Structure 1
Amino acid sequence: MTVRIGVVTFPGSLDDRDAQRAVRIAGAEPVALWHGAHDLDGVDAVILPGGFSYGDYLRSGAIAALSPIMTEVKDAAAKGMPILGICNGFQMLVEAHLLPGGLIRNDHQHFVRRDQKLTVENADTAWTHEFTRGQEIVIPLKNAEGGYIASDETLDRIEGEGLVAFRYAGVNPNGSLRDIAGLTNPGGNVVGLMPHPEHATEPGFGPDTSAAMRSGVDGLPFFTSAIAAIARVAA
């Protein structure tokens, strides 16, 4: 079967084409979706990409979370469709209440751009099952409003339920509480994270590694995991 993964473009999206390319490299068919549509075009999964939707007015992701297509995304998520939110897409997921908590301006008040070490905390989701729990990966990060916040009660709950998907390792780049870099929902089909796995899928264009400059492809398993999960359900 041909797995079709939709990538939604919002006004101000920046990394939608990069996400489409990552999907293609991983072996699936990328499908361009528009924020104003009420149709997911029969896709098997959806990616909400990074960028500055609606200029980050009000709060990052807050206006995009009310876009027409998000009604379809929420319905699809409730039925188990794999949904990935990257950076601005993660902000949309929390604003749409598909993931708990919120994201605020970095504690140092500056935009940050770096190759970021992450620890995989949950390797049982549609987007992470090709990793192993405790694995350290390197994924590019770029954000100004990436500080994850939640009440102590919510933080304790997501920790207890194993909903932390990734933590920052080595350095916390934005002041996120408990070093949280990404989350999953209880069903494991919705995942959001601030770093950009689509920028680490092709040799020559990813983070530096001990093997060679720009050779890091730690982002590729996000996409191949989803393809495998979809194929398994369809079999």
Structure 2
Amino acid sequence: MKKALITGANKSIGFETARQLLQKEYYVYLGARDITKGNEAVAQLKSEGFDNVELLQIDVSDPSSVAEAGKKITELDVLINNAGILGGWEQSAQTASLDVIKEVFNTNFFGAINVAQTFLDALKKSDEPRIVNVTSGLGSLTLHSDPNWKYYQVKNAAYGPSKSALNAYTIVLAYELKDTNFKINAVDPGYTQTDFNHHNGPGKVEDAAAIVVKYATIGNDGPTGKFFSKDMDGDSEESPW
């Protein structure tokens, strides 16, 4: 049975991703910062008949928490770096607090890197290791430079740049492991109705999780070092960087 770890999985897209991987008969480590909320999420999934799920307490912004979590998993097939924070709605490039920007980067960028590095040895034991870095369309520099893009006016100084940085790290990590069976991609689940955005998005959690699961479970002939988005128009899901 393949094993998957999802950070920030006690609610929203992370939780639905856990459910869909359980439906595919994966063993799921449900990563959560809050033990109480994590246990509630695990209990909900078990009430639905999914027994192959357990809580892994992990705060990606806390190196000691990540290190402790790393001791509990020795073999892993899939890592989904899903945990992330917005940092508030007011993020002007002219006035945004450096403390806020650092806080957002600490979770969305440095935290994701630390998690990836911590679990890399466990993933290397898999025949088909997969890493999905959950990103955002707001991390695309190309789209942000296009006045015709539907979200062109949605700019921020912390969240978007943190995802741009995560995308850049994804490229480098995928390149370094290109001669292995690793498949490492950045995946944007799209503008989705979640607590993260006060349920303002047009997308459904089920559809958002589906694209994450798709690239978490791709075969050895699948892509690596790419950026995919649920919000892309047309037949292709590949997004410009």
Identify the TM-score tier after normalising by the shorter chain: 0.3 to 0.5
Structure whose alpha-carbon radius of gyration is higher:
2
Q: Compute the TM-score of the two structures, normalised by the length of structure 2.
A: 0.41
Q: Compute the TM-score of the two structures, normalised by the length of structure 1.
A: 0.41
